[in-house]
Amino acid sequence: MQTSSQPLPNPKRNAKEFQKPRSGDVIDQRFQIVGRPLGKGGMGTVYRVVDAHGAEYAIKRLDPALREEKRFEKRFRLEYEAAADLKHPNITAYLELFEAHGALHILMELVEGVNLRELMKDQKVFSVEVATGIGRALARALEHLHAHRVVHRDLKPENILLGLDGTIKLTDFGISRVEFAGLTRTGTLLGTPRYMSPEQLAGKKGEEIGPESDIYSLGILLYELLTGKDPYRLRKKAEILEVINIRHNFAPKPLPEELDPELRKLILMMLERDPQKRPSDARWIGQELGRWASDRKDLKHALCQELSRFGSVKSPARPMLSPKRKEDPLFRSEEPTEAYPEETALEEPTHGRELLPAFLLTLSFLLMLWGAGLWSERPRVSASSGGASTQTTLSPPQETAAPVPTSQGIPAQRSAAAPPVKEATKRPASSPKNRRDQQRRTRRHRRLRRFRQPQRQPKRRRPRRLP
C-alpha cells in the first residue's frame, strides 16, 4: 500500500478547505462524493465516493480541526496501520491513506448493507443457527486480528456490517491496539461501556488489555442475539459508573433453559470477570460455535432474506457533478446524452391544478350559504290596494268596533268582520319610504288646515251717534 504525501496547505490562506464536503465535490482529483455521509464517528466522517472508472469506495475523513491535536492524527494513522495488512473475508479492507484539502483520508472497501444494530432493532431475538453463525464469523475475524497482534477493543453491533449479499464484515479500527504502539495511557477509557470488558473499565494500560477483552465483548453480543436483552440488564444509555458498579457486584443473568446447556456454559465462560478464566483463543471459540451454527450457504440465504426488507441502500441517482460547480474533465462523459429522450413527451407543469376543483367547490358552498342567509332575512311582501308592493303588519281582529257617526247623528256600529283599511295599509315608520310619505302628509295637512280656517272679518266700526 502506498501512501501519497502532499504538502499541507495553510488553513489561514484558504478557509474553504475546512468546509465540510458535499455531494458532487471531488477529493484529490480522483474521487467524487455521492449522496449523504454514510456515518459519523468521534474522529471522522465516512462518505460514499466513485472514481473515474465507476468503482465505488468508502472514504473516512479526519476533521481538519482535529489535526491541531497530535494524538488524533496519530490515532488516525494508527487505525490505517492496524488494518492495512489485514486481508480476511470478514474484515473490511483498508486500501490507502492520503492527504488532500488539508485533511487526512482513508480509502476503504464499500459494503452495501446495514450494520447489525439496525437488524437487531427490527428483529429482537435471532435463531440459534443464525446467532451462532454470526458469532462464528466474528470469531474468525478476531482470530485473524489476534494473529497480527491487533486487539479491536470496540466490538459492538454498530461496527459489524451485514452486506445485502449475506457477507459479515468487522470494521472501525479507530481505537484498536497494535502491539508496541503504546498510545493508550493508564486511566483512559476508550470504547463503548456497554460492551467493554472489566479490565477496560478499570482503565488499565493498552498493553495489559489482550485478546480476552474482545472475547468478552463477543460473549455480550451473543447473549443479546439469543435473548434480545443485556446480560446485566443495563439501560441503553447507562453511564460508566453504573456499568462498573453492576459489572463488579452482580453476575450476568442466566440464559433461557431452552438453549443447549453446552452453549449456555460457553457464553457464561466468555463473560467471566477474571480474564485468566476467560478463553483467549478465538479459533477455539469459532470451532465451538460451529456446533450449533448453520452452514455458510444457509447463513447467507437467511441473512439475505432478513435484509431484503431493507432493500437497496444506495443513494438515488444524481449527476456526477453539482450543477453549481464547473465540470471536471476527469468525470466528463465521452458521448453526450440527451436530457430528454425522443420517446418521452414533456409533461406540462401541473403544480397547483390539483387544488382547483376543491377551491371551486368550497367557493360555491360559501355562495350558497350567503344566498340562504339573504333569503332568510328578506322582508315579507303583500299586495296593497294601490297595486304597489308594500310591507304590511296585520293586527288581530277586534271583537267590537268603534262607533262611526252618521248623518242622522246616531252612532252606528261597524261590522266586526270588516278589517281596518287604514291599519292594514299602514307602513312601519322604520322604512325610509314610509317616513317620506308621513312627512309629505304632515305638510299637506298643515296647508289644508291653514286654508280651512275662517278668515277674520274686519271689525266694523260703529257709527258714532250724533248727539
CB atoms within 10 A of CB 327: 13
**Rg of the Cα trace of the chain?**
49
Q: Report the pLDDT value the prediction gives residue 238, as an integer from 0 to 100.
A: 78
Residue 191 pLDDT: 65
With a cut of 70, say whether residue 399 has pLDDT above it.
no
Nearest C-alpha neighbor of 106 from the set 151, 170, 46: 46
Which domains occur in the chain, in start order? 1-110 (3.30.200.20), 113-312 (1.10.510.10)
Q: Tell me, what's the pLDDT at 183?
A: 47
Please, what is the angle between helix 211-227 and helix 128-147, to 10°? 170
Task: Please choose, from the candidates 113, 121, 210, 229, the residue with its C-alpha nearest in 3D space to the C-alpha of residue 169.
Answer: 113
Q: Which of 343-357, 373-387, 410-424 is predicted least confidently? A: 410-424
Opening angle at CA 345, ends 340 and 348, nearest 5:
105
pLDDT, residue 356, reads 81
Q: Is residue 301 scored above 80 in pLDDT?
A: yes
Is the per-residue pLDDT at 146 higher than 90? Answer: yes
Find the catalytic residue in 154, 172, 214, 230.
154
Instruction: Kindly state the percentage of the chain with pLDDT values over 90.
Output: 34
The pLDDT, as a whole number, for residue 19 is 74
The beta-carbon contacts of 281-285 under 8 Å, at least 24 apart in sequence, are: 282/139, 282/140, 282/142, 282/143, 282/146, 282/211, 282/214, 282/215, 283/139, 283/140, 283/143, 285/135, 285/139, 285/142, 285/215, 285/218
Per residue in 309-367, pLDDT tens? Answer: 776 544 433 333 333 444 444 444 444 444 334 444 444 455 556 678 888 889 898 98
- The grid coordinates of residue 462 equal 260703529
Contact between 304 and 168 (Cβ < 8 Å): no
Q: What is the pLDDT of residue 82?
A: 84
Q: CA 117, CA 119: separation in Å to the nearest integer? A: 5
Question: With bands split at pLDDT 50, 70 and 90, how would you rate the model's confidence at 285?
Answer: very high
pLDDT tens digits, residue range 15-57?
555 578 888 899 989 999 999 988 887 778 899 999 999 999 9
pLDDT attached to residue 416: 46
pLDDT of residue 443 exceeding 90: no
Going by the DSSP 8-state scheme, the letter that residue 203 receives in this structure is T
Q: Is 443 exposed, middle or buried (0-12, 13-18, 19+ CB in 10 A)?
A: exposed
| pLDDT for residue 137 | 96
Contacts of 399 (CB under 8 A, 6+ apart): 416
Confidence of residue 451 (pLDDT cuts 50, 70, 90): low
What sign does the dihedral 183-185-189-195 (CA atoms) show? positive
- In the prediction, which pLDDT does 388 show? 45
Residue 455's pLDDT band (cuts 50, 70, 90):
low
Residue 185 has what pLDDT? 45
Residue 252 region by backbone torsions, left for phi larger than 0, else alpha for psi between -120 and 50, else beta: beta
**Residue 273's CB: how many other CB atoms inside 10 A?**
14
pLDDT at residue 4, as a whole number:
46
Predicted pLDDT of residue 177: 64
Comparing 95-104, 200-209, 306-315, 318-327, which segment has the lowest mean pLDDT?
Answer: 318-327
State residue 226's pLDDT score. Answer: 95
pLDDT of residue 138: 96
List residues bridging with 382 in a β-sheet. 390
Q: How many residues does the chain have?
A: 467
- The least confident of 84-88, 121-125, 400-404 is 400-404
Q: Is 154 a catalytic residue?
A: yes
- Residue 237 confidence (pLDDT): 78
Whether residue 2 is predicted with pLDDT greater than 60 in this model: the reply is no
Q: Determine how many CB atoms are found less than 10 A away from the CB of residue 100.
A: 19
Counting residues of the chain whose pLDDT is more than 70, the rounded percentage is 69
Rounded mean pLDDT of 448-458?
65
Q: Which of 107-121, 150-164, 165-179, 232-246 has the lowest mean pLDDT?
A: 165-179
Mean of pLDDT values over 292-309: 90
Q: Please count the helices (runs of H) and the strands (runs of E) in the chain.
A: 12, 16
**How confident is the model at residue 78, as a pLDDT?**
86
User: What band does 8 get if pLDDT is binned at 50, 70 and 90?
Assistant: very low
Confidence of residue 208 (pLDDT cuts 50, 70, 90): confident
Tell me the pLDDT band of 449, cut-offs 50, 70 and 90. Answer: confident
Residues ≥6 apart with Cβ < 8 Å to 314: 35, 112
Say what the pLDDT of residue 157 is: 93
Mean pLDDT for the chain overall:
76
Q: Convert the pLDDT of each residue in 253-283 to its tens digit.
A: 999 999 999 999 999 999 999 999 999 899 9
